[in-house]
Amino acid sequence: GMWTVDVDPSPLAALAAQLDDVAERRFTAGAERARTLLAGRRVWNVSATATGGVGELLRTLLPYVRDAGIDARWLVVDGDEQFFRIATRLHHVLHAHPVDGGPLGAEEMAHYDRVLARNLDEVRENITAGDVVLLHDPATVGLAPELRRRGAVVVWRCHIGTDAPDGVTDLAWAFLEPSIAQADRVVLSRATYRPGFLDAAVVRVISPSVDPLSAKNRMLEPAEVEQLLQDAGLLAGDAPAGAPGDDGGPPVSADVPTGATMRAGGPVPVNARMLLQVSRWDRLKDMSGLLIAFDEGFDDLPEDVHLLLAGEEVAPHDSAAAAILADCLQMWEGLEPAVRSRTHVACLPLVDRERNALLVNALQRRAAVIVQKSLAEGFGLTVAEALWKGRPVVATAVGGIQDQIADGTNGLLVKDPTDLHGLVAAVARLLAEPAFAEQLGLAAHDRVRRDFLSDRHLLQYVDLLDELL
Ligand code: UDP
Protein backbone atom coordinates (compact mmCIF):
# COMPACT_ATOMS: atom_id res chain seq x y z
CA GLY A 1 0.00 0.00 0.00
CA MET A 2 0.94 3.68 0.06
CA TRP A 3 3.94 4.43 2.16
CA THR A 4 4.83 7.56 4.05
CA VAL A 5 8.00 9.55 3.61
CA ASP A 6 8.87 11.06 6.95
CA VAL A 7 9.50 14.76 6.88
CA ASP A 8 11.47 16.49 9.58
CA PRO A 9 11.06 20.24 9.97
CA SER A 10 13.82 22.50 8.72
CA PRO A 11 14.02 26.07 10.05
CA LEU A 12 12.11 28.59 7.97
CA ALA A 13 14.13 31.30 9.63
CA ALA A 14 17.31 29.99 8.03
CA LEU A 15 15.74 30.24 4.59
CA ALA A 16 14.35 33.70 5.39
CA ALA A 17 17.83 34.79 6.42
CA GLN A 18 19.07 34.09 2.88
CA LEU A 19 16.69 36.71 1.45
CA ASP A 20 16.88 40.46 1.18
CA ASP A 21 14.77 42.50 3.61
CA VAL A 22 11.73 42.90 1.40
CA ALA A 23 11.62 39.24 0.41
CA GLU A 24 12.24 38.17 3.98
CA ARG A 25 9.28 40.17 5.31
CA ARG A 26 7.03 38.88 2.53
CA PHE A 27 8.11 35.33 3.20
CA THR A 28 7.62 35.51 6.96
CA ALA A 29 4.16 37.06 6.49
CA GLY A 30 3.31 34.29 4.01
CA ALA A 31 4.23 31.61 6.54
CA GLU A 32 1.95 33.28 9.09
CA ARG A 33 -0.89 33.41 6.56
CA ALA A 34 -0.40 29.71 5.76
CA ARG A 35 -0.45 28.78 9.45
CA THR A 36 -3.81 30.51 9.90
CA LEU A 37 -5.30 29.14 6.67
CA LEU A 38 -4.32 25.58 7.34
CA ALA A 39 -4.98 25.36 11.07
CA GLY A 40 -6.80 22.09 11.78
CA ARG A 41 -6.26 20.77 8.26
CA ARG A 42 -3.80 18.26 7.01
CA VAL A 43 -1.93 18.87 3.78
CA TRP A 44 -1.26 15.63 1.93
CA ASN A 45 1.15 15.29 -0.95
CA VAL A 46 0.77 12.15 -3.00
CA SER A 47 3.40 11.16 -5.56
CA ALA A 48 4.31 8.01 -7.44
CA THR A 49 8.01 8.34 -6.69
CA ALA A 50 10.31 9.63 -4.02
CA THR A 51 13.13 10.30 -6.49
CA GLY A 52 13.68 12.56 -9.51
CA GLY A 53 12.46 16.14 -9.59
CA VAL A 54 9.22 15.53 -7.70
CA GLY A 55 11.03 13.74 -4.90
CA GLU A 56 13.58 16.52 -4.77
CA LEU A 57 10.90 19.22 -4.53
CA LEU A 58 8.90 17.54 -1.80
CA ARG A 59 11.99 16.66 0.15
CA THR A 60 13.14 20.29 0.14
CA LEU A 61 9.82 22.16 0.50
CA LEU A 62 7.92 20.07 3.04
CA PRO A 63 10.43 20.52 5.90
CA TYR A 64 9.81 24.30 5.73
CA VAL A 65 6.05 23.75 5.65
CA ARG A 66 6.28 21.60 8.75
CA ASP A 67 8.41 24.19 10.50
CA ALA A 68 5.60 26.67 9.88
CA GLY A 69 3.48 24.46 12.13
CA ILE A 70 1.50 22.93 9.27
CA ASP A 71 0.61 19.26 9.31
CA ALA A 72 2.12 18.39 5.93
CA ARG A 73 2.52 14.78 4.92
CA TRP A 74 3.84 12.83 1.98
CA LEU A 75 2.47 9.56 0.67
CA VAL A 76 3.99 7.52 -2.15
CA VAL A 77 1.71 5.32 -4.21
CA ASP A 78 2.46 1.64 -4.39
CA GLY A 79 1.84 -0.26 -7.58
CA ASP A 80 2.84 -3.26 -9.61
CA GLU A 81 5.06 -3.24 -12.65
CA GLN A 82 2.13 -2.68 -15.01
CA PHE A 83 0.98 0.35 -13.06
CA PHE A 84 4.38 1.98 -13.25
CA ARG A 85 4.67 1.11 -16.91
CA ILE A 86 1.40 2.94 -17.53
CA ALA A 87 2.55 5.86 -15.38
CA THR A 88 5.82 6.12 -17.32
CA ARG A 89 3.93 5.89 -20.60
CA LEU A 90 1.64 8.76 -19.59
CA HIS A 91 4.70 10.72 -18.54
CA HIS A 92 6.50 10.25 -21.84
CA VAL A 93 3.41 10.83 -23.95
CA LEU A 94 2.59 14.08 -22.13
CA HIS A 95 6.12 15.13 -23.04
CA ALA A 96 5.13 14.38 -26.66
CA HIS A 97 7.76 11.64 -26.73
CA PRO A 98 6.12 8.22 -26.69
CA VAL A 99 8.96 5.88 -25.84
CA ASP A 100 7.49 2.39 -25.60
CA GLY A 101 4.63 2.95 -28.05
CA GLY A 102 2.24 0.99 -25.84
CA PRO A 103 -1.52 1.62 -25.59
CA LEU A 104 -3.46 3.83 -23.20
CA GLY A 105 -6.85 2.19 -23.60
CA ALA A 106 -9.66 0.76 -21.51
CA GLU A 107 -7.51 -2.03 -20.12
CA GLU A 108 -4.80 0.34 -18.95
CA MET A 109 -7.41 2.67 -17.48
CA ALA A 110 -9.01 -0.18 -15.51
CA HIS A 111 -5.67 -1.24 -14.11
CA TYR A 112 -4.68 2.33 -13.26
CA ASP A 113 -7.97 2.92 -11.41
CA ARG A 114 -7.78 -0.42 -9.61
CA VAL A 115 -4.27 0.20 -8.27
CA LEU A 116 -5.10 3.73 -7.12
CA ALA A 117 -8.35 2.62 -5.43
CA ARG A 118 -6.47 -0.08 -3.57
CA ASN A 119 -3.92 2.49 -2.44
CA LEU A 120 -6.59 4.80 -1.12
CA ASP A 121 -8.36 2.01 0.77
CA GLU A 122 -5.40 1.72 3.02
CA VAL A 123 -5.43 5.35 4.11
CA ARG A 124 -9.24 5.65 4.22
CA GLU A 125 -9.52 6.88 7.80
CA ASN A 126 -6.83 9.46 7.31
CA ILE A 127 -7.77 11.73 4.41
CA THR A 128 -10.96 13.49 5.44
CA ALA A 129 -13.20 16.44 4.61
CA GLY A 130 -11.37 19.73 4.74
CA ASP A 131 -7.96 18.20 4.19
CA VAL A 132 -5.92 19.58 1.32
CA VAL A 133 -4.47 17.03 -1.10
CA LEU A 134 -1.82 17.81 -3.68
CA LEU A 135 -1.66 15.06 -6.28
CA HIS A 136 1.60 15.02 -8.19
CA ASP A 137 1.76 14.06 -11.85
CA PRO A 138 -0.39 11.80 -14.04
CA ALA A 139 0.26 8.73 -11.91
CA THR A 140 -1.81 10.05 -8.99
CA VAL A 141 -4.50 12.32 -10.48
CA GLY A 142 -6.81 9.29 -10.73
CA LEU A 143 -7.33 9.71 -6.97
CA ALA A 144 -9.07 13.07 -7.48
CA PRO A 145 -12.70 11.89 -7.94
CA GLU A 146 -12.76 9.80 -4.75
CA LEU A 147 -10.95 12.43 -2.70
CA ARG A 148 -13.43 15.08 -3.83
CA ARG A 149 -16.29 12.79 -2.79
CA ARG A 150 -14.76 12.72 0.66
CA GLY A 151 -14.74 16.48 0.82
CA ALA A 152 -11.03 17.05 0.44
CA VAL A 153 -9.71 20.08 -1.42
CA VAL A 154 -7.83 18.64 -4.38
CA VAL A 155 -5.02 20.27 -6.35
CA TRP A 156 -3.38 18.47 -9.24
CA ARG A 157 0.26 19.47 -9.57
CA CYS A 158 1.49 18.36 -12.98
CA HIS A 159 5.27 18.67 -13.41
CA ILE A 160 5.40 17.70 -17.07
CA GLY A 161 4.07 18.88 -20.39
CA THR A 162 4.95 19.89 -23.92
CA ASP A 163 4.91 23.10 -25.92
CA ALA A 164 3.85 21.16 -29.00
CA PRO A 165 0.98 18.79 -28.20
CA ASP A 166 0.02 16.34 -30.94
CA GLY A 167 -2.38 13.46 -31.48
CA VAL A 168 -0.40 11.28 -29.10
CA THR A 169 -0.52 13.77 -26.23
CA ASP A 170 -4.28 14.08 -26.84
CA LEU A 171 -4.54 10.37 -26.05
CA ALA A 172 -2.92 10.79 -22.67
CA TRP A 173 -5.07 13.83 -21.90
CA ALA A 174 -8.19 11.86 -22.80
CA PHE A 175 -7.07 9.15 -20.40
CA LEU A 176 -6.68 11.68 -17.59
CA GLU A 177 -9.46 14.17 -18.34
CA PRO A 178 -12.22 12.63 -16.16
CA SER A 179 -9.86 12.72 -13.17
CA ILE A 180 -8.44 16.16 -13.86
CA ALA A 181 -11.96 17.55 -14.17
CA GLN A 182 -12.49 16.71 -10.49
CA ALA A 183 -9.52 18.72 -9.23
CA ASP A 184 -10.26 22.12 -7.67
CA ARG A 185 -7.14 23.60 -9.24
CA VAL A 186 -4.44 22.48 -11.61
CA VAL A 187 -0.86 23.71 -11.22
CA LEU A 188 1.39 23.58 -14.28
CA SER A 189 5.06 24.50 -14.73
CA ARG A 190 4.41 26.44 -17.97
CA ALA A 191 1.29 28.09 -19.40
CA THR A 192 1.83 26.27 -22.70
CA TYR A 193 1.25 22.91 -20.95
CA ARG A 194 -2.48 23.56 -20.44
CA PRO A 195 -4.63 21.05 -22.32
CA GLY A 196 -7.44 22.48 -24.43
CA PHE A 197 -10.26 21.13 -22.27
CA LEU A 198 -9.01 22.89 -19.14
CA ASP A 199 -10.41 26.32 -18.41
CA ALA A 200 -7.57 28.78 -17.80
CA ALA A 201 -9.43 29.91 -14.66
CA VAL A 202 -8.62 26.68 -12.80
CA VAL A 203 -4.98 26.68 -13.86
CA ARG A 204 -2.11 28.30 -12.01
CA VAL A 205 1.40 28.39 -13.43
CA ILE A 206 4.08 27.83 -10.80
CA SER A 207 7.73 27.09 -11.54
CA PRO A 208 9.64 24.62 -9.42
CA SER A 209 12.51 25.77 -7.23
CA VAL A 210 15.77 24.82 -5.60
CA ASP A 211 16.56 24.98 -1.90
CA PRO A 212 19.76 26.98 -1.35
CA LEU A 213 20.33 25.29 2.02
CA SER A 214 19.86 21.66 1.03
CA ALA A 215 22.72 19.18 0.75
CA LYS A 216 22.29 19.43 -3.01
CA ASN A 217 22.74 23.18 -3.23
CA ARG A 218 24.46 24.49 -0.15
CA MET A 219 27.86 26.13 -0.47
CA LEU A 220 30.80 23.73 -0.55
CA GLU A 221 34.38 24.88 -0.33
CA PRO A 222 36.65 23.68 -3.17
CA ALA A 223 38.64 21.50 -0.76
CA GLU A 224 35.42 19.84 0.42
CA VAL A 225 34.37 19.23 -3.18
CA GLU A 226 37.72 17.61 -3.95
CA GLN A 227 37.53 15.44 -0.84
CA LEU A 228 33.96 14.29 -1.44
CA LEU A 229 34.61 13.33 -5.05
CA GLN A 230 37.89 11.59 -4.35
CA ASP A 231 36.45 9.64 -1.41
CA ALA A 232 33.59 8.52 -3.61
CA GLY A 233 35.94 7.36 -6.36
CA LEU A 234 34.52 9.84 -8.88
CA LEU A 235 37.71 11.80 -9.10
CA ALA A 236 41.15 10.22 -9.18
CA GLY A 237 43.30 11.06 -6.22
CA ASP A 238 44.02 9.57 -2.84
CA ALA A 239 41.18 7.10 -3.12
CA PRO A 240 40.60 4.97 -0.03
CA ALA A 241 41.39 1.27 -0.19
CA GLY A 242 38.68 -0.66 -2.00
CA ALA A 243 37.63 2.29 -4.15
CA PRO A 244 37.85 1.94 -7.92
CA GLY A 245 41.31 2.45 -9.33
CA ASP A 246 42.33 5.43 -11.42
CA ASP A 247 43.79 3.59 -14.36
CA GLY A 248 40.80 4.22 -16.60
CA GLY A 249 40.72 0.48 -17.12
CA PRO A 250 37.75 -1.85 -17.45
CA PRO A 251 34.43 -1.01 -15.75
CA VAL A 252 34.74 -1.27 -12.01
CA SER A 253 31.85 -2.14 -9.77
CA ALA A 254 32.47 -1.34 -6.13
CA ASP A 255 29.70 -1.88 -3.62
CA VAL A 256 30.85 0.91 -1.34
CA PRO A 257 27.51 2.24 -0.12
CA THR A 258 28.66 5.81 0.36
CA GLY A 259 30.87 5.97 -2.70
CA ALA A 260 29.97 6.12 -6.34
CA THR A 261 29.95 3.15 -8.61
CA MET A 262 32.03 3.84 -11.67
CA ARG A 263 30.32 1.80 -14.34
CA ALA A 264 32.72 2.73 -17.10
CA GLY A 265 35.95 4.63 -17.49
CA GLY A 266 37.09 4.78 -13.89
CA PRO A 267 37.45 8.05 -11.97
CA VAL A 268 37.90 11.35 -13.79
CA PRO A 269 41.56 12.51 -13.64
CA VAL A 270 42.09 15.27 -11.15
CA ASN A 271 43.55 17.69 -13.71
CA ALA A 272 40.83 17.15 -16.33
CA ARG A 273 38.15 19.69 -17.19
CA MET A 274 34.90 17.89 -16.57
CA LEU A 275 31.92 18.02 -18.85
CA LEU A 276 28.98 16.78 -16.79
CA GLN A 277 25.40 15.67 -17.18
CA VAL A 278 23.48 14.47 -14.12
CA SER A 279 20.17 12.78 -14.89
CA ARG A 280 17.89 9.89 -14.22
CA TRP A 281 18.42 7.04 -16.68
CA ASP A 282 15.48 8.04 -18.83
CA ARG A 283 15.30 8.14 -22.62
CA LEU A 284 14.21 11.79 -22.56
CA LYS A 285 17.41 12.87 -20.81
CA ASP A 286 19.36 11.57 -23.81
CA MET A 287 22.53 10.58 -22.01
CA SER A 288 23.45 8.39 -24.99
CA GLY A 289 22.92 11.34 -27.33
CA LEU A 290 25.43 13.32 -25.32
CA LEU A 291 27.86 10.43 -25.53
CA ILE A 292 27.47 10.39 -29.31
CA ALA A 293 27.90 14.17 -29.49
CA PHE A 294 31.11 13.91 -27.46
CA ASP A 295 32.38 11.14 -29.71
CA GLU A 296 31.52 12.97 -32.93
CA GLY A 297 32.86 16.29 -31.72
CA PHE A 298 35.88 14.80 -29.99
CA ASP A 299 38.46 16.48 -32.22
CA ASP A 300 36.88 19.89 -31.65
CA LEU A 301 37.34 19.68 -27.88
CA PRO A 302 40.55 20.39 -25.95
CA GLU A 303 42.57 17.40 -24.81
CA ASP A 304 41.99 17.90 -21.10
CA VAL A 305 38.21 17.56 -21.42
CA HIS A 306 36.55 14.45 -20.00
CA LEU A 307 32.85 13.60 -20.17
CA LEU A 308 31.07 12.25 -17.09
CA LEU A 309 27.55 10.89 -17.29
CA ALA A 310 26.21 10.53 -13.76
CA GLY A 311 22.88 9.04 -12.78
CA GLU A 312 21.25 7.38 -9.86
CA GLU A 313 21.86 3.77 -9.02
CA VAL A 314 19.18 1.78 -10.84
CA ALA A 315 16.55 0.19 -8.59
CA PRO A 316 16.26 -3.59 -9.08
CA HIS A 317 12.69 -3.42 -10.47
CA ASP A 318 13.39 -0.50 -12.83
CA SER A 319 14.00 -2.37 -16.08
CA ALA A 320 13.48 0.75 -18.22
CA ALA A 321 16.28 2.61 -16.45
CA ALA A 322 18.49 -0.47 -16.55
CA ALA A 323 18.04 -0.63 -20.34
CA ILE A 324 19.04 3.03 -20.81
CA LEU A 325 22.13 2.57 -18.65
CA ALA A 326 23.02 -0.64 -20.49
CA ASP A 327 22.79 1.26 -23.80
CA CYS A 328 25.25 3.85 -22.58
CA LEU A 329 27.66 1.20 -21.32
CA GLN A 330 27.46 -0.70 -24.59
CA MET A 331 28.15 2.48 -26.55
CA TRP A 332 31.08 3.19 -24.27
CA GLU A 333 32.53 -0.25 -25.09
CA GLY A 334 32.32 0.59 -28.77
CA LEU A 335 34.18 3.92 -28.52
CA GLU A 336 37.66 4.29 -29.96
CA PRO A 337 40.25 3.93 -27.18
CA ALA A 338 41.19 7.64 -27.27
CA VAL A 339 37.58 8.70 -26.75
CA ARG A 340 36.83 5.93 -24.29
CA SER A 341 39.69 6.95 -22.03
CA ARG A 342 38.08 10.38 -21.65
CA THR A 343 34.52 9.16 -21.12
CA HIS A 344 33.10 8.04 -17.76
CA VAL A 345 29.79 6.64 -16.56
CA ALA A 346 28.88 6.66 -12.87
CA CYS A 347 25.94 5.62 -10.72
CA LEU A 348 25.40 7.46 -7.46
CA PRO A 349 23.96 5.24 -4.72
CA LEU A 350 20.70 6.24 -3.06
CA VAL A 351 21.11 4.31 0.21
CA ASP A 352 22.19 7.54 1.86
CA ARG A 353 20.21 10.42 0.35
CA GLU A 354 22.20 13.14 2.02
CA ARG A 355 25.35 11.64 0.62
CA ASN A 356 23.83 11.28 -2.85
CA ALA A 357 22.81 14.94 -2.82
CA LEU A 358 26.25 16.03 -1.62
CA LEU A 359 27.88 14.13 -4.48
CA VAL A 360 25.61 15.79 -7.04
CA ASN A 361 26.40 19.14 -5.44
CA ALA A 362 30.15 18.47 -5.54
CA LEU A 363 30.04 17.22 -9.15
CA GLN A 364 28.13 20.28 -10.29
CA ARG A 365 30.57 22.60 -8.52
CA ARG A 366 33.57 20.75 -9.95
CA ALA A 367 32.32 20.65 -13.56
CA ALA A 368 33.90 22.99 -16.12
CA VAL A 369 30.70 22.92 -18.18
CA ILE A 370 27.35 21.35 -17.33
CA VAL A 371 25.18 19.95 -20.10
CA GLN A 372 21.50 19.08 -20.08
CA LYS A 373 20.74 17.48 -23.41
CA SER A 374 17.12 16.62 -22.71
CA LEU A 375 14.68 15.89 -25.54
CA ALA A 376 11.85 17.18 -23.34
CA GLU A 377 11.81 18.69 -19.87
CA GLY A 378 8.95 19.83 -17.65
CA PHE A 379 11.23 22.26 -15.86
CA GLY A 380 14.62 20.63 -15.35
CA LEU A 381 15.79 20.96 -11.77
CA THR A 382 19.26 19.82 -12.74
CA VAL A 383 19.53 22.98 -14.83
CA ALA A 384 18.45 25.22 -11.95
CA GLU A 385 20.90 23.42 -9.66
CA ALA A 386 23.74 24.02 -12.12
CA LEU A 387 22.80 27.68 -12.64
CA TRP A 388 22.61 28.26 -8.89
CA LYS A 389 26.21 27.07 -8.60
CA GLY A 390 27.27 29.66 -11.12
CA ARG A 391 28.33 27.09 -13.66
CA PRO A 392 28.28 27.68 -17.42
CA VAL A 393 25.46 25.54 -18.78
CA VAL A 394 24.68 24.27 -22.27
CA ALA A 395 21.14 22.93 -22.55
CA THR A 396 18.60 22.12 -25.20
CA ALA A 397 15.84 24.69 -25.67
CA VAL A 398 13.00 22.42 -24.59
CA GLY A 399 10.16 22.88 -22.09
CA GLY A 400 10.98 24.61 -18.82
CA ILE A 401 14.67 24.94 -19.66
CA GLN A 402 13.62 27.90 -21.81
CA ASP A 403 12.22 29.61 -18.71
CA GLN A 404 15.57 29.30 -16.96
CA ILE A 405 18.14 30.15 -19.59
CA ALA A 406 18.22 33.22 -21.79
CA ASP A 407 20.60 32.20 -24.54
CA GLY A 408 23.93 34.00 -24.29
CA THR A 409 22.97 35.76 -21.06
CA ASN A 410 23.02 33.12 -18.32
CA GLY A 411 23.82 29.99 -20.31
CA LEU A 412 23.73 28.69 -23.85
CA LEU A 413 20.73 27.07 -25.52
CA VAL A 414 20.85 24.58 -28.36
CA LYS A 415 17.71 25.18 -30.41
CA ASP A 416 17.40 21.71 -31.90
CA PRO A 417 17.96 18.78 -29.48
CA THR A 418 19.24 16.66 -32.37
CA ASP A 419 21.89 19.22 -33.33
CA LEU A 420 24.95 17.43 -31.95
CA HIS A 421 27.35 19.72 -33.76
CA GLY A 422 25.70 22.81 -32.27
CA LEU A 423 25.92 21.30 -28.81
CA VAL A 424 29.64 20.56 -29.09
CA ALA A 425 30.29 24.00 -30.59
CA ALA A 426 28.60 25.63 -27.58
CA VAL A 427 30.62 23.53 -25.15
CA ALA A 428 33.84 24.27 -27.04
CA ARG A 429 33.09 27.98 -26.94
CA LEU A 430 32.64 27.99 -23.15
CA LEU A 431 35.88 26.06 -22.71
CA ALA A 432 37.75 28.43 -25.00
CA GLU A 433 36.33 31.62 -23.48
CA PRO A 434 36.61 31.37 -19.70
CA ALA A 435 35.73 35.04 -19.15
CA PHE A 436 32.50 34.61 -21.10
CA ALA A 437 31.76 31.39 -19.23
CA GLU A 438 32.29 33.15 -15.92
CA GLN A 439 30.03 36.01 -16.91
CA LEU A 440 27.26 33.55 -17.83
CA GLY A 441 27.77 31.79 -14.51
CA LEU A 442 27.36 35.00 -12.50
CA ALA A 443 24.17 35.85 -14.36
CA ALA A 444 23.00 32.26 -13.87
CA HIS A 445 23.33 32.45 -10.10
CA ASP A 446 21.48 35.76 -10.00
CA ARG A 447 18.69 34.40 -12.15
CA VAL A 448 18.05 31.53 -9.74
CA ARG A 449 18.28 33.81 -6.73
CA ARG A 450 15.65 36.09 -8.23
CA ASP A 451 13.17 33.54 -9.57
CA PHE A 452 13.78 29.96 -8.61
CA LEU A 453 14.31 29.62 -4.87
CA SER A 454 11.98 27.86 -2.40
CA ASP A 455 10.53 31.04 -0.86
CA ARG A 456 8.87 32.18 -4.10
CA HIS A 457 7.53 28.68 -4.70
CA LEU A 458 6.05 28.35 -1.21
CA LEU A 459 4.45 31.80 -1.39
CA GLN A 460 2.72 30.89 -4.64
CA TYR A 461 1.21 27.85 -2.92
CA VAL A 462 0.02 30.04 -0.05
CA ASP A 463 -1.69 32.36 -2.56
CA LEU A 464 -3.31 29.39 -4.26
CA LEU A 465 -4.64 27.95 -1.01
CA ASP A 466 -5.72 31.38 0.15
CA GLU A 467 -8.01 31.58 -2.83
CA LEU A 468 -9.32 28.02 -2.42
CA LEU A 469 -10.02 27.73 1.31
N1 UDP B 1 19.30 13.51 -9.06
C2 UDP B 1 19.92 13.08 -7.90
N3 UDP B 1 20.83 12.08 -7.97
C4 UDP B 1 21.15 11.50 -9.15
C5 UDP B 1 20.50 11.94 -10.35
C6 UDP B 1 19.57 12.95 -10.26
O7 UDP B 1 19.67 13.59 -6.81
O8 UDP B 1 21.98 10.59 -9.15
C9 UDP B 1 18.35 14.61 -8.92
C10 UDP B 1 18.77 15.88 -9.60
O11 UDP B 1 19.80 16.52 -8.87
C12 UDP B 1 17.45 16.65 -9.62
C13 UDP B 1 16.44 15.54 -9.82
O14 UDP B 1 17.09 14.31 -9.47
O15 UDP B 1 17.23 17.29 -8.38
C16 UDP B 1 15.94 15.47 -11.23
O17 UDP B 1 15.01 16.48 -11.47
P18 UDP B 1 14.75 17.06 -12.91
O19 UDP B 1 13.68 18.09 -12.79
O20 UDP B 1 16.03 17.50 -13.52
O21 UDP B 1 14.25 15.82 -13.80
P22 UDP B 1 13.21 14.63 -13.51
O23 UDP B 1 14.02 13.52 -12.95
O24 UDP B 1 12.18 15.13 -12.57
O25 UDP B 1 12.67 14.30 -14.85
> pLDDT, tens digit, for every residue of 136-147?
999 999 999 999
- What's the gap in Å between 279 CA and the centre of ligand 1? 6
Q: How far apart are CA 379 and CA 377, in angstroms?
A: 5
Of 164-173, 353-362, 418-427, the least confident: 164-173
pLDDT of residue 254: 46
Does the structure show a pLDDT above 70 at 249?
Answer: no
Does the structure show a pLDDT above 80 at 246?
Answer: no
- What's the gap in Å between 305 CA and the centre of ligand 1? 24
Q: Residue 1: which pLDDT band, with cuts at 50, 70 and 90?
A: confident
pLDDT of residue 257: 46
- What's the gap in Å between 280 CA and the centre of ligand 1? 6
Q: Is the minimum distance from the CB of 62 to ligand 1 under 6 angstroms?
A: no
pLDDT of residue 126: 79
Average pLDDT, the chain: 94
Q: What torsion do the CA atoms of 47, 3, 49, 120 make, to the nearest 10 degrees?
A: -40
Ligand 1 atom showing the smallest separation from residue 313 Cα = 8
Of 158-167, 252-261, 406-415, the least confident: 252-261
pLDDT of residue 393: 99
pLDDT of residue 255: 47
pLDDT of residue 125: 63
- What's the gap in Å between 380 CA and the centre of ligand 1? 8
- What's the gap in Å between 55 CA and the centre of ligand 1? 8
Of 90-104, 135-149, 226-240, the least confident: 226-240
- What's the gap in Å between 363 CA and the centre of ligand 1? 13
Nearest CA to ligand 1 atom 10: 382
The helix or strand, by DSSP H or E, that contains position 69, with its residue range, turns out to be none
pLDDT of residue 260: 74
Report the pLDDT averaged over residues 225-253: 68
> pLDDT, tens digit, for every residue of 349-381?
988 999 999 999 999 999 999 999 999 999 999
- What's the gap in Å between 215 CA and the centre of ligand 1? 13
pLDDT of residue 124: 61
Q: How far apart are CA 361 and CA 381, in angstroms?
A: 12
Q: Is the minimum distance from the CB of 52 to ligand 1 under 6 angstroms?
A: yes
Report the pLDDT averaged over residues 460-465: 98
Report the pLDDT averaged over residues 51-60: 95
Ligand 1 atom showing the smallest separation from residue 382 Cα = 20
Query: In sequence order, which ranges of 193-286 are alpha helices (DSSP H)?
Result: 222-231
Q: Is the minimum distance from the CB of 138 to ligand 1 under 6 angstroms?
A: no
Sheet with strand 393-396: strands edge to edge: 261-264, 343-348, 305-312, 273-278, 369-372, 393-396, 412-414
Report the pLDDT averaged over residues 137-164: 97
Of 142-156, 202-216, 224-238, 242-256, the least confident: 242-256
Query: In sequence order, which ranges of 195-286 are alpha helices (DSSP H)?
Result: 222-231
Ligand 1 atom showing the smallest separation from residue 311 Cα = 8
388-391: long-range pairs with CB below 8 Å, 24+? 388/210, 388/212, 388/217, 388/444, 388/445, 388/448, 388/449, 388/452, 389/217, 389/361, 389/364, 389/365, 389/445, 390/441, 390/442, 390/444, 390/445, 391/364, 391/365, 391/367, 391/441, 391/444
Q: What is the reported pTM?
A: 0.95
Ligand 1 atom showing the smallest separation from residue 312 Cα = 8
pLDDT of residue 309: 98
Q: Residue 200: which pLDDT band, with cuts at 50, 70 and 90?
A: very high
Does the structure show a pLDDT above 70 at 239?
Answer: no
* Nearest of 313, 461, 437 to residue 386 by alpha carbon: 437
